[in-house]
Structure 1
Amino acid sequence: MRSTISGYTALPKAHKFSAAGLVTVAGAAALTFALVPQASAADVSSVGVKPVAQSAQEFGVTQDGELAKAADKARADAKAATKTAAKAKAGAERANRSTERKALKPAAPAKKAYADNLDGWIQESLDILRAKGIPASYDGIKRNIMRESTGNPRAINDWDVNAVNGVPSKGLLQIIDPTFKAYHVDGTSWDIYDPVANITASCNYAADKYGSMDNVNSAY
């Protein structure tokens, strides 16, 4: 039996189920569209979005490269600093060793001082003669000096045969220029009038000719 309400027509039972199904589907569709932001297909296709995983991967590679460069630079700086420190240490050690050697090295003996007189001249000459292995004694030298020049280092003989021949005897032990040059002793002056040089050359000559100045008792 159908009942009617003003303005409406009753539906058969089968139609009622169909209408209910449509309402359910429509509601689900409405719910689905409500959850998705409203955007056209053109809007979606125009947005260039890289996949998140790819972007993160690229960022990671770039970051690792920069970190690797920084690490390499830090290692290079550390190596350079180590090398510089080692060089400075080596230099300091060399300086210390040099200082230690200087401290251990015995000081050079002070140069012996001699009086500027006949005694001092003979003493200085004797030290040179001993160092050279040339025999002579203080007494033998002084005795011959007093006979030849009376101790005057500027004495010159201008009357004997040597003077006649143009080579006068000169100095404390009256030696001629050619003999002085031939028997000059290294370490002494080349000035024939220098007292020490004159004594030393004369003693060298006497040692060669007579064995020692001690053996000379007259003109030689």
Structure 2
Amino acid sequence: MPAKGKHRRPKSSRLTRGFVAAGTGGAALALPVIGATTASAAQPAIAKAAVTAPAPAKKAPATYTVVAGDSLAKIAEEQSVSGGWKKLYNDNRRNIGADPSLIRPGLKLTIGAKAKPADRTADTGRADRSEARTAPAKKTPAAKPAKAKAYSNDLDGWIKESLDVMAKHGIPGTYEGIHRNIMRESSGNPLAINNWDINAVNGTPSKGLLQVIDPTFRAYHVPGTPFDSYDPVANITAACNYAAARYGSIDNVNGPY
């Protein structure tokens, strides 16, 4: 018989267990059995999809029309221009010009446009102003009505006014020629009348400064003057018109005509 004694029991592994099987000769055989691992299977990693945010659409430049009372600073604030009025000025420098303080009503400004290269010839001193003012709209001065020429109410004024009327109608004559004939015919009296010559006998007396009979006055009356043979200007102008037709000019008359 095998000697009696204590036998150490082999420790069982966490991974293996021993089973004793009876065999021939009473010997005990330790049959190792491979156990299952206790580690849990690794879960496959879930890749996170990369989410790419769409690029924000570029805002199209807006157009702003300047109105009276506007300034670049005011427009930049109302339109939320990043960079303020200086950015707005740089973006529209070519349209505004060298002075940002002068923007006229009706001027179109681009809001949000890419800044153009600065004009080196621009007056940068003025561009640094913190506030721009609106240029007043240019007013076209109204044409003043032509002032009527004044003439004195005497022989000098009557002759001068007659000469201006004659010039408009192309009637020749000079101040000296008119004055000389008036002094001979009427001595400068616009109401003079001849009641003793042949014209008076025939019922058509000579009248006025240059002693014109009514038929001649009517035939040679100049438009723009009164239809009255006693009117000084009308009388002189009609007589000079008649003298121009018959003698070439009142200057050529040196006696009764």
Residue 104 (structure 1) shift = 4.2
Q: CA separation in 2, counterparts of 1:206 and 1:125?
A: 14
- Per the alignment, in what secondary structure is the counterpart of residue 180 of structure 2? helix
Deviation of 1:105 after TM superposition, in Å, equals: 4.4
1:48-93: CA deviations, max 9, x gaps?
xxxxxxxxxxxxxxxxxxxxxxxxxxxxxxxxxxxxxxxxxxxxxx
Partner Cα distance (1:129, 1:191) in 2: 17
1:159 aligns with 2:196: yes
Q: CA deviation at 1:203?
A: 0.2
Does residue 196 in structure 1 map to residue 233 in structure 2?
yes
Q: Which of the two has greater helix per residue?
A: 1
Q: Verify: 1:140 aligned to 2:177, yes or no.
A: yes
Write out per-residue CA displacement over residues 136-186 of structure 1, whole angstroms, 9 at most, x where no aligned residue.
Answer: 000000000000000000000000110010000000000000000000000
1:210 is the counterpart of 2:250: no
Deviation at 1:109, TM superposition (A): 1.5
Select which of 97, 100, 114 maps to 2:151: 114
Which structure's residues are more often strand, by fraction? 2
Partner amino acid, structure 2, of 1:136: G
**How many percent identity over aligned positions?**
66
State the shift of 1:106 in Å. Answer: 2.1
Distance 2:211 2:203 in 1: 14
Q: Distance in 1 between matches of 2:254 and 2:209?
A: 15
- Structure 2 counterpart of 1:91: none
SS in 2 for 1:190: coil
Letter of the 1:109 counterpart: A
State the partner residue of 1:61: none
The TM-score with structure 1 as length reference comes to 0.53
Q: What number of residue pairs does the alignment pair up?
A: 121
Q: Counterpart of 1:20?
A: none
Equivalent residue for 1:181?
218
Picking from 123, 127, 137, the partner of 2:164 is 127
Root mean square deviation, CA, Å = 1.7
Instruction: Tell me the TM-score normalised to structure 2 length.
Output: 0.46
Matched to 2:188, the amino acid is G
Match of 1:170, SS state, is: coil
Report the Cα offset of residue 108 of structure 1. 2.0
What is the aligned counterpart of 1:169 among 201, 206, 209?
206
Shift of 1:111: 0.1
1:47 aligns with none
Structure 1: runs of 5 or more not aligned: 1-99
In structure 2, what is the equivalent of residue 84 of structure 1?
none
What amino acid is aligned across from residue 169 of structure 1 in structure 2? S
| Letter matched to residue 196 of structure 2 | W
Structure number with higher relative contact order (C-alpha < 8 Å, ≥ 6 residues apart): 1
